Structure 1
Amino acid sequence: MALSDYEKEVLAQMERGLKEEDPQLAHTLTSSLPVNDSEPTRLSPRRIALGSIVAVVGLAVVVGGVSAQILWLSITLGTIGFVLMVGGVLWALKGDRDTAPRKQPRSGSDSSSFMDRQRDRWENRDRN
């Protein structure tokens, strides 16, 4: 069921309020893990750079293995280089996931005071 224009505006207003009041929380919520595994994860530039470097090093090892004159050295270097190339590409394309545990409120009062403030802001939104 699609949201009405009014509901979309209310959600946008709540999002803007959250970004103004607690930008760090808003950033954490927008960069959190996807709801399900079918949603794509965010690619990290650091992962892409490191994975690309490893893949290029693997390619250089493969070329070195091909140019080696000794058969067992050629096969060994080719295999190691291939594994490095595949591993680098997989590392570069792997989504960046936050594995740190989520912080829980120390007591129920922390979350209830937050909810009370949100409820008060919601009730007072038209008065301002």
Structure 2
Amino acid sequence: MADNLEKIELEYLLNTSPAILFNRLATPSGLSEWFADNVNVKGNIYTFIWEGSEQQAEQTQRKENKMVRYQWLDEGMEDAWFQFEINVDELTGDVALFITDHVDPDEKEDTIELWDQQVEVLKHGLGSS
């Protein structure tokens, strides 16, 4: 399965500061506000909990207020990672969130729709919806 993963890149404009956004992307409390029902962390290993199911990922890269990457640890997902990158437009000051994910091509549309829904929850939590 991991061999045929397709990389998707999504962009969302958010009305917030990079520091506030980064907190929502890189901390258990921030992630549990919009990404998962609950998030536990031990070292660099994050356990994401959705409606009773769990998935683990390792935070493999982190640049304060810039980007964070998570590598899935589940069997068959060794090549799958997702990344949040914050980009601030130098001219306008607009804050954009770039999400990179790896999906099964058959699940691409569903995954994009899911990210859209999750980011709407994030925007609402940030007061920028």
**TM-score if structure 2 supplies the norm length?**
0.31
Higher-RCO chain (CA-CA 8 Å, sequence separation at least 6):
2
| Larger helix percent | 1
The structure with the larger Rg is 1
**TM-score if structure 1 supplies the norm length?**
0.31
| Larger strand percent | 2
